[in-house]
Structure 1
């Protein structure tokens, strides 16, 4: 296909800014011009690319072209930089999808030295973050999927280990007879969001399927940790977060012999972009230091 670069930019702008008017403002054209470019692109490929709404959303065929549009834009920026056209190139921007626990523990320190790159982070559960690579909304992702998304490379990062913990007061109130099938069915748990299955997986590992205790949704990493520490419920926390609170007695283990191990992988566009390569190197190097020791030492892991 002979795809028009202005049409691809229009598609990317509509999705980035959530609508046709805001996309037009970002590209310094009229909303009518944006609409005409999208319609022409849809006619050429024979499919609806954008679901009109607030915000506008990309369709499955549109996701294919959205990823292409973002790759072309990134490659154009990189080419301008390599040619010394710095004013036209601007600052490189890298779009990443990271699971919240990695973001709260090891990812930000790993990327902090890359001061010449602008980051756009999106938080997503590790079981779903690869979707953002498929739909073109991310250049790289920390994910639990070892199967490379089409057009992407994949590299193992290591193991994120989770421990089931609660505050001493919570244990005294809800688990006076210990962590067992009866107490676990009644004790409230803290859940990050409706996609967070880690607590339920831990319950199933301990007692089999079927338990459905009450739960609180707390969709922010710091607040999730605080809710657990303050006794709203028990939760599975990354060992990296839980270790200092276990050491000072703020939290206690529910099952000292069991952990939940989640393998993590880095996936990224298979394109030659130096900023993205630097991000990959920073993340894989940090993961080798931080996550390498997470997969050993406890029985009963998953």
Structure 2
């Protein structure tokens, strides 16, 4: 591996995290020209293009290797700097972590809160079926994911099962599903999905023998707003078991298909990076998951 220095790695990390050379210059208190020079010097040393000059900026396959190196080296440096500093501050390690929206909006933030004075978290909201890609690309150092097999250079720990139940607003149940969730009714009734990566409703429809492309759908990419849209009657949707039960108790929601559910098994994957910040974060997430998940 060619010789690289910390300023070059810091520039690479800033360009990716900030999404542009301009943003990196602002974050590093440098000129944009200085950032460009550092990136060019690193690419010259490596002999390959590392940064994709797009908006937002990204990395090539070779760049992902060096982005991972940058996070590892600078993470260890930040922890060393924090260890010899009496007061918390900019020296605190930065941990980019990918979390699925439903976990982020329920049990993950309370789990991380006790560490907020020691670690600067950079949380990436990403669908659990896709978050492992961020680990592979070096964008994050840990992720909640459905991938059980460890990404290269990572460990994997089973967190538990997040159960989802199909529910519909009480006011719509009789209109959209007069005879229950028949294939004909499911093919015609509108549904609510989180975003275009959300496959939960499609999984349920396939299990019921319905073409997922048939029903009209609303996209509502925010956890609280998603649940609210279902309550307001935009369409039926799959909600985490606790949210579904709360809506039923209030009389706002009806269990669309009693006894049926979609289970999502979640795993915690993290780099094998020997830092106290990453170790303590992993411990906190696993402990909270044991109480929150099945």
Corresponding residue pairs, total: 292
1:1-302 correspondence runs (5 A): 1=1, 2-84=3-85, 90-116=91-117, 117-209=119-211, 212-292=214-294
Aligned-residue offset at 1:90:
2.2
Cα gap change, 1:245 to 1:31, in 2 (>3 Å): same
The root-mean-square deviation of aligned C-alpha atoms, in Å, is: 1.7
Aligned-residue offset at 1:43:
2.2
Aligned-residue offset at 1:245:
1.1
| Alignment check: 8 A CA contact 1:92 1:275 kept | yes
| Alignment check: 8 A CA contact 1:80 1:86 kept | no
3-state SS, counterpart of residue 270 of structure 2: strand
Distance in 1, matches of 2:254 and 2:66, equals 49
Distance in 1, matches of 2:32 and 2:292, equals 48
Question: Which sections of structure 2, spanning at least 5 residues, go unmatched?
Answer: none
Deviations 1:149-204, CA, capped at 9 Å, x for gaps: 11111100000101000111111221112110110110000010000010010011
Q: Tell me what 1:297 maps to.
A: none
3-state SS, counterpart of residue 237 of structure 1: strand
3-state SS, counterpart of residue 38 of structure 2: helix
Distance in 1, matches of 2:178 and 2:224, equals 27
3-state SS, counterpart of residue 149 of structure 1: coil
Cα gap change, 1:101 to 1:65, in 2 (>3 Å): same
| Alignment check: 8 A CA contact 2:67 2:138 kept | yes
| Alignment check: 8 A CA contact 2:97 2:123 kept | yes
Cα gap change, 1:165 to 1:79, in 2 (>3 Å): same
Segments ≥4 residues shifted beyond 3 Å: 83-89, 208-211
Moved more, 85-94 or 183-192: 85-94
| Alignment check: 8 A CA contact 2:98 2:134 kept | yes
Aligned-residue offset at 1:230:
0.5
Distance in 2, matches of 1:122 and 1:3, equals 28
TM-score between both structures, scaled by the size of structure 1: 0.92
